[in-house]
Amino acid sequence: MLELKNVSKKFKNKIILNNINLKINQGELVVLIGPSGCGKTTTLKMINKLVVPTSGELLINGKNISQEDTIQLRRNMGYVIQQTGLFPHMTVGENIGLIPFIQKSHSEEIRKNTVELLKMVDMDPEEYMDRYPAELSGGQQQRIGVARAFATDPDIILMDEPFSALDPITRSQLQDELYNLHHELKKTIVFVTHDMDEALKLGDRICIMKDGDIIQYDTPENILKKPCNEFVEEFVGKNRIWNQPEFIKAKDIMIPNPVKTIGNRTLLQGLEIMKSNKVDSLLIVNKDQQLQGIVTLKYLRMKQEDNLKLSEIMETNFETVSMENSIIDIVNVLNEHHLGYIPVTDNKEKLVGLITKSSLLAVMSNQYIDQEVGV
């Protein structure tokens, strides 16, 4: 775990960080973001002692880094910056293997590790090992910077706006590669950016900063849905969640308390329930509110036996979605099975809501209207 306790930083009379507290769990990718001058890069540089706090403590696995050997601390952390920091007079292989070489690792081991690291960032070792940085594109250089950060198998990797100077396509590709690497290798990554889209795409948690304070530290989903104040809402963008549809869940858009009844009701009773509620289908549940089946008005009208029970004619082969399914999942299920509606259940198969195509269109239409009028 990486922890900042009551950390402040002043340059002359200016407060850069104002008594911040931050905990980053092992294996998390945490994004620091905020306006220019908010303190995000200063926070990052404190972790490897490039900047010393005026007061407070920085702990790694419970140990105060002020008491750790600075050189050793930095060698055990990966560090990726915007300008890559590659040495122009060294080949790609030499750049990646520099720290292991300084640590006197065996040359054959360094080369083998470098080959694996190049493959890891999707670069052919035979093609790129002996090239120089000037012979590479900006995206290729940044890939080498990422590979070098992993060279000593560090527990913590610091990344200071590493992709900000790249073109949008290359940037998106590297974001995807970093996301995959993080989930495969489970490294603790602290990532500074000024781009909210990048933060939402990469972060397990996002730390929004302003004027040296932490304003909100939360999951991307919670920041989009529950901004803690007007600054966060404006900084994130009021309608941005619709640009991140994977964060829009069934529980956010479902109709709660759909019309339902129990299976021992008669067909006539079922028809009356539908009529009084102005619906054309009934969801059948048991005493524990678990979904058992579905009966449609069209099918009920085909039956003449009034004494039949709904449980005897209900459709038991039906599709459902969970509360955590995204709007993308829901649309796919509706389209794939040609459905006009779909029940929402919890992890105990309890009926908790209903999503219809019309309600889904209404939600999306309202959002479009809000965007058009600038709400």
Domain ranges of the chain: 2-247, 251-363
Which residue in this structure is represented by tokens 């009934």?
282
pLDDT value for 158: 94
For residue 358, give both structure tokens: 């019309």
Q: By the 8 A CB rule, do 270 and 310 touch?
A: yes
Query: CA 142 to CA 84: how far, in whole Å?
Result: 6
Distances (CA, A) of 322 to 180, 221, 242, 247, 286: 26, 17, 20, 14, 18
To which CATH superfamily is domain 251-363 assigned?
CBS-domain (3.10.580.10)
* Residue 20 backbone phi and psi in degrees, to 5: -90, 150
Cα angle at 204 between 199 and 210, to 5 degrees?
50
Mean pLDDT of 3-24: 93
Least confident window among 150-154, 211-215, 234-238, 305-309 = 305-309
**Multiple choice CATH, 2-247, 3.40.50.300, 3.40.50.2020, 3.40.50.2300, 3.40.190.10:** 3.40.50.300
Give the mean pLDDT of the chain: 87
Report pTM.
Answer: 0.72
Q: What is the pLDDT of residue 236?
A: 85
* Token pair 């000037």: residue: 134
Q: Are 51 and 42 in contact (CB under 8 A)?
A: yes
Q: Return d(Cα 133, Cα 151) in angstroms, integer.
A: 17
Mark 169-200 as b/e (b = at least 16 C-beta within 10 Å).
ebbebbbeebeebbeeeebbbbbbbebbebbb
Q: Tens digits of per-residue pLDDT, 60-106?
A: 998 999 998 998 888 888 888 877 678 889 898 888 888 888 877 78
pLDDT of amino acid 238:
66
Say what percent of the chain tops pLDDT 90.
34
Here the tokens at position 345 are 């259940």
At 356, is the secondary structure helix, strand, or coil?
strand
Check whether 27 has a pLDDT greater than 80. yes
Convert the pLDDT of each residue in 140-185 to its tens digit: 888 888 888 888 888 899 999 888 878 888 888 888 888 888 888 8
DSSP at 233: H
Reply yes or no on whether the pLDDT at 371 is more than 50: no
Q: Output the pLDDT for position 300.
A: 79
Instruction: Round to whole Å and give the CA distance between 183 and 205.
Output: 14
